[in-house]
Amino acid sequence: MNQEPAESSIVVCPDGPLIIRGDFEIVTPSGAPVPRDRKTVALCRCGASAIKPYCDGTHKMIKFRTEPPAS
Amino acid sequence: MKLPEPRGPISSALLGVLAGEPGSAGESLSGLRRLVGGKLAGVTNIIGDDDVQLALFCLYELHYSGLEGVQDEWEWEPGLIQVRQMLEKPFEEALRLAAREAGGDLDLPAGSDLTSDAVADVLFGLAARDTGPSVSRFVAKKASLGQLKEFLIHKSIYQLKEADPHTWAIPRLSGRAKAALVEIQADEYGGGRPDRMHSALFARTMRGLGMDDHYGAYVNAVPAISLAAVNLMSLCGLNRRLRGAITGHLAIYEMTSSQPNRLYGNGFRRHGFDADVTHYFDEHVEADAVHEQIAGRDLAGGLVEAEPGLLDDVIFGATAVMAIDTRLSAHLLESWEHGRSSLRAAVPAAA
CATH, residue B168: 1.20.910.10
pLDDT at B133 over 80: no
Q: Are residues B228 and B261 in the same domain?
A: yes
Confidence label for B78 from pLDDT (cuts 50, 70 and 90): very high
The percent of residues in chain A predicted with pLDDT above 90, rounded, is: 82
**Domain boundary residue, one of B100, B123, B153:** B100
Pick B290's closest partner by Cβ from A14, A40, A61: A40
Chain A, residues 10-49, CB within 8 A of chain B, namely: 11, 13-14, 16-17, 19, 21, 37-42
Q: Can you tell me the distance from the alpha carbon of B122 to that of B115, in angstroms, rounded to the nearest whole number? A: 11
- Substitution target from B290, B298, B299 for chain A, most A beta carbons within 10 A: B290
Q: What's the pLDDT score for residue B351?
A: 43
Cβ contact B288:B258 at 8 Å: yes
Confidence label for B132 from pLDDT (cuts 50, 70 and 90): low
Residue B267 lies in a domain: yes
Cβ contact B299:B250 at 8 Å: yes
Q: Can you tell me the distance from the alpha carbon of A31 to that of B112, in angstroms, rounded to the nearest whole number? A: 47
B264: phi > 0 → left, psi -120 to 50 → alpha, else beta; which?
Answer: alpha
Q: Can you tell me the distance from the alpha carbon of B309 to that of B70, in angstroms, rounded to the nearest whole number? A: 40
List the Cα angle B304/B307/B308 in 5-degree steps.
60
Confidence label for B13 from pLDDT (cuts 50, 70 and 90): very high
**Domain boundary residue, one of B100, B125, B143:** B100
Q: What's the pLDDT score for residue B26?
A: 85
The percent of residues in chain B predicted with pLDDT above 70, rounded, is: 97
pLDDT at A70 over 90: no
Q: What's the pLDDT score for residue B69?
A: 96
Q: What's the pLDDT score for residue B4?
A: 97
What residues make up the domain containing B37? 9-100
Chain B residues whose CB is inside 8 A of the A16 CB are 293
Report the relative pairing of strands A41-43 and A18-21 from DSSP bridges.
Answer: antiparallel
Cβ contact B91:B231 at 8 Å: yes
Chain A residues whose CB is inside 8 A of the B301 CB are none
Q: Can you tell me the distance from the alpha carbon of B9 to that of B232, in angstroms, rounded to the nearest whole number? A: 22
Q: Count the Cβ atoms, other than its own, within 10 Å of residue B146.
A: 14
| CB–CB contact A56 B285 (8 Å) | yes
**Domain boundary residue, one of B66, B100, B134:** B100
Residue B348 lies in a domain: no
Residue B160 lies in a domain: yes
Q: Are residues B70 and B143 in the same domain?
A: no
Q: What's the pLDDT score for residue B348?
A: 55
Q: Can you tell me the distance from the alpha carbon of B324 to that of B339, in angstroms, rounded to the nearest whole number? A: 23
Q: Are residues B94 and B157 in the same domain?
A: no
Give the mean pLDDT of A45-59: 96
Residue B350 lies in a domain: no
With CA atoms as reference, report the closest residue to B191 among A40, A45, A54, A59: A40
User: How many Å separate Cα B287 from the centre of its chain?
Assistant: 18
| CB–CB contact B293 A13 (8 Å) | yes
Q: Can you tell me the distance from the alpha carbon of A19 to that of B180, in angstroms, rounded to the nearest whole number? A: 13
Q: What's the pLDDT score for residue B347?
A: 64
Give CA separation, B121 vs B96, B101, B126, B274, B282, in Å. Answer: 22, 20, 9, 37, 26
Query: Which tens digits make up the pLDDT trace of B319-341?
Result: 999 999 999 999 999 999 999 99
Query: Which tens digits make up the pLDDT trace of B237-247?
Result: 999 999 999 99
| CB–CB contact A39 B262 (8 Å) | no
Give the mean pLDDT of A56-64: 94
Q: Are residues B63 and B169 in the same domain?
A: no
Residue B242 lies in a domain: yes
pTM reported for the whole predicted model: 0.95
| CB–CB contact A56 B289 (8 Å) | yes
Q: Count the Cβ atoms, other than its own, within 10 Å of residue B23.
A: 10
Residue B180, amino acid:
A
ipTM: 0.91
Query: Which tens digits make up the pLDDT trace of B169-216?
Result: 999 999 999 999 999 999 999 999 999 999 999 999 999 999 999 999
Residue B203 lies in a domain: yes
Q: Which of B15-19, B57-61, B129-133, B179-183 has the lowest mean pLDDT?
A: B129-133
Mean pLDDT of chain B: 95
- Substitution target from A49, A56, A61, A63 for chain B, most B beta carbons within 10 A: A56
Give CA separation, A69 vs A15, A64, B121, in Å. Answer: 12, 11, 17
Query: Number of C-alpha atoms within 13 angstroms, CB side, residue B123?
Result: 40
Query: Which tens digits make up the pLDDT trace of B281-318?
Result: 999 999 999 999 999 999 999 999 999 999 999 999 99
Residues facing residue A18 across a β-bridge: A12, A43
Q: Are residues B141 and B191 in the same domain?
A: yes
Q: Can you tell me the distance from the alpha carbon of B75 to that of B63, in angstroms, rounded to the nearest whole number? A: 6
Q: Are residues B87 and B215 in the same domain?
A: no
Residue B344, amino acid:
R
pLDDT at B91 over 60: yes
Chain B residues whose CB is inside 8 A of the A55 CB are 286, 289-290
Q: Count the Cβ atoms, other than its own, within 10 Å of residue B89.
A: 12
pLDDT at B350 over 90: no
Rg of chain B taking only CA atoms, in angstroms? 20
Residue A20, amino acid:
I
Cβ contact B146:B276 at 8 Å: no
Q: Are residues B309 and B275 in the same domain?
A: yes
Chain B residues whose CB is inside 8 A of the A13 CB are 293, 297
Q: Are residues B115 and B213 in the same domain?
A: yes
Distance from CA of B125 to the nearest CA of A (A): 10
Q: Are residues B328 and B249 in the same domain?
A: yes
Q: Which of B63-72, B109-118, B250-259, B274-283 has the lowest mean pLDDT?
A: B109-118
Residue B193 lies in a domain: yes
CB pairs below 8 Å between A and B: how many?
58
Q: Are residues B88 and B116 in the same domain?
A: no
User: How many Å separate Cα B145 from the centre of its chain?
Assistant: 24
Residue B219 lies in a domain: yes
Q: Are residues B263 and B222 in the same domain?
A: yes
Q: Can you tell me the distance from the alpha carbon of B281 to that of B272, in angstroms, rounded to the nearest whole number? A: 15
Q: What's the number of domains chain B is made of?
A: 2
| CB–CB contact A40 B294 (8 Å) | yes
User: Quick one: CA torsion of B290, B292, B298, B301, rounded to 10 degrees?
Assistant: -160
Q: Can you tell me the distance from the alpha carbon of B341 to that of B154, in angstroms, rounded to the nearest whole number? A: 12
Q: Are residues B77 and B171 in the same domain?
A: no
Chain A residues whose CB is inside 8 A of the B191 CB are 38-39
| CB–CB contact B187 A39 (8 Å) | yes
